[in-house]
Amino acid sequence: MNISGVLVHVQPKRMDAMSEELNAIEGVEVHAATDGKLVVTVENEKLHALADQVMAFQHLKGVMSVAMVYHESDDNENIDIEEFLAEVTPACTVNTCNEQPSQEAS
C-alpha cells in the first residue's frame, strides 16, 4: 500500500465543491480545508497509479497547484526509482506545461 499527503491549492470560491469532488474519488480523503488550501491523503496499491491520480488533480476545475508533501510505501512493491522517474510525465511549471523541447533545424 502507498499513501501520500498532498496539498491542493484551489480557488477559494471552489473550495467546498473541490472537497466534495476529491472525497468522491476512491482512496482520496480531504482532511482539512481553509483559505483555498486542502490537505488530502491518497491511498493506492500501485505507486504508478497513485502518482497518476495525484497528477490528475492538476486538471480539475479550480485547482491552482498540487504538491505531494509526504509519501510512504509498505515496500511490498519493489520499485526501481530511476525507472519510475523516467516514466513520470513532468508537471506544469510557471512557464511550461508538458511542452516538448523544440528540435533545431540542421
Please classify residue 88 by burial: count the beta carbons closer than 10 Å to its beta carbon, then call 0-12 exposed, 13-18 middle and 19+ buried.
exposed
Q: Which domain holds residue 80?
A: 2-87
pLDDT in tens, 52-66: 999 999 999 999 999
- What distance separates the 2 farthest-apart alpha carbons in the chain? 54
**82 domain residue, yes or no:** yes
**CATH, residue 46:** 3.30.70.920
67 in a structural domain: yes
Residue 94 lies in a domain: no
Residues 6+ apart with CB under 8 A from 50: 2, 4, 42, 43, 44
**Structural domain total, the chain:** 1
Q: Is residue 92 part of a domain?
A: no
Mean pLDDT of the chain: 81
Question: pLDDT tens digits, residue range 1-28?
Answer: 889 999 999 999 999 999 999 999 999 9
